[in-house]
Every structure is written in structure tokens, then in C-alpha cells.
Structure 1
């Protein structure tokens, strides 16, 4: 027969060990997320050096957006939360345009094909520019701190081109109101 006291003691040790392991795992995950959410200077410079195609066939140098705060939204026509947040982003872009020199510029980077984006914009015109990253856009988001590669992914850059805020997932009015105060 086993000693009931020993069994209770073993359970306490086991529970303590499990709790300690869970705490260590949680701390490691938090550290990994913080570490991966940082964006190094080389990744930022590479981002600002990009020239991406626009759905109409033109090109846009992302460096043309420097010197002003910029909200960059990675999205796709096949992504339901991306499509749901587009009217909100459009309203935000329109309200920011009315602010003049203190406006946050909005840029959509479509992780999609030009034909799909053109059809979508024809149905839902946008008050902000859209460029195409294609399937390579997911890799681009990862270099900017989106460790999961999920969409939508939104970043707020300050006027110096440094990351101020990031969000993986659908934006809310509260997010945009808060982010506008950084500009």
C-alpha cells in the first residue's frame, strides 16, 4: 500500500513543477513576442526603399511617404477581416486628409493579385493609395514584426519612419483614434 501523505506530497510537488514550467513557458513566449516585434534598422530601411506596383500599373516609391506619419495596412480581398475594416480605414483617411499638414497618411499594401484588387476598388473606391505586394507581402510583414504572418496587419510609422504601433487583426475605431494621437 502507498502512504496517503506521500501521495499528497507528490501531488503538491507535481502541481508546483507544472506551475513553474507554465510560468517559464509563458515568460519565454512573452520574451519571444517582444523580441520578434522589434524591427531592426536594416528591415525598416529596406521597407522604405521599396518601389511597389499600383493596381493601375504605375509604381510608388514608399520613400515618397516619409517625413509624415503613415498608417500602413496589409490586406487582401480574400481576407474577411481585411475587407470589413476597409470602410473604417477609408473614413480615417478622409478625416485625416482634412487635418492638412498634421495628417496621418494611409497606405494599403495588398497581399493579392492586381486583377482582384482592381475589381474590389472598382466596387469600393478608396481615399488612399494602394500598392501590390502579392504573395511576398506576407514575408514583408514578418520583417516588420508580424511573427504569425496573419492579415490584416497594420503599422503606424512616425514622421521619421520609425514604428510607433502595430496590430495583427482587424482595426477598431478606438485603435485609429488612439493612433491618430501619435501623429
Structure 2
């Protein structure tokens, strides 16, 4: 590939669960840009970027879907996660990867991971590690229609 030659890669579908236990798939948001962030309460880098994702959601949540996916393992029960959300004043859309479908689909073994998917369902950017507000905003602007 020549430099600057970027191929579009379709973001593989996955299923996670909302706080009421309803299955939600990435494909449910076809036609809308989507930000997916994989995190856990026990992960310091995750916790460092959550305030910036909360602000981004407040700013862009009408135009972009946010799937803030908790890697629901033994360390993060729904009760613990929801208490963490309340304690920190977070209101972003919370989902659980309780069957590890998303983690397996994307080969996630280290968190946080952030994915920025355009309205056509293509993966625009993907990052492992904590992001700052400027990077989050820049990536969101790239996927806005």
C-alpha cells in the first residue's frame, strides 16, 4: 500500500447488553456514527479517560452513538459498576460485555480500547490505551457525517 492509501474496514458486529439486560448489537446503529469504548472500574487508564468520554457524549451524543462497554468480569459486577457510575456522576450509555462477544470479536486483551466507527459501519480509528479529550474529539469529528 502506498502511504496515505487507506482501505476501509467494516467494523465486525457484536452483541452486548444494556443495564436492563436487553441484547444490543453494533448493527442496531447502522447509519449512525458510533464510538465504542471498552473499560472496567479496576483499570486506572480507563478511569482517567472516562471524564473526557462523558463530556464528548454530552457534546456529541445527539449525532453519535456511544457504547461504553464494561468488560463484565468477576471484578466488575453490575452493582459495582452502577455504583461507580453514580459516584462519579457518569450518565453515558452503559453496556456490559457479559458474554465477551465484543472482546472476542475485537481480540481485546488490554483495556481501555476505543473504536470510532463511521455511519457506513467502517472502522475509522481504533486505539489501545487512554485517550485525552483532544484525541477523542478529533476522532469523533472524523466520523461525523
Judging by fraction of residues, say which structure has more helix: 1
Cα distance, 1:180 vs structure 2: 2.1
- 1:72 aligned to 2:36? yes
Deviations 1:41-79 (A, max 9, x none): 6x714x2xx2x2223434434332221111100000110
1:119 to 83, 90, 103: 83
Larger Rg: 1
8 Å CA contact 1:70, 1:157 repeated in 2: yes
- 1:159 aligned to 2:119? yes
Equivalent-residue separation in structure 2 for 1:130 and 1:73 (angstroms): 10
TM-score by length of 1: 0.63
- Matched residue count: 133
Judging by fraction of residues, say which structure has more strand: 2
Give 1:44's aligned residue: 12
Q: Secondary structure at the match of 1:181?
A: helix
Query: What 5-or-longer segments of structure 2 have no aligned partner?
Result: 1-6
The alpha-carbon distance between structure 1 residues 117 and 175, as it changes in their structure 2 partners (threshold 3 A), is same
Deviations 1:7-55 (A, max 9, x none): xxxxxxxxxxxxxxxxxxxxxxxxxxxxxxx9976x714x2xx2x2223
Cα distance, 1:125 vs structure 2: 3.6
Cα distance, 1:142 vs structure 2: 5.3
Query: What 5-or-longer segments of structure 1 have no aligned partner?
Result: 1-37
8 Å CA contact 1:39, 1:143 repeated in 2: no
Which structure has more relative contact order (CA 8 Å, sep 6+)? It is: 2
TM-score by length of 2: 0.77
Equivalent-residue separation in structure 2 for 1:141 and 1:58 (angstroms): 18
2:50 to 79, 86, 89: 86
Name segments (4+ residues, structure 1) moved above 4 Å.
38-41
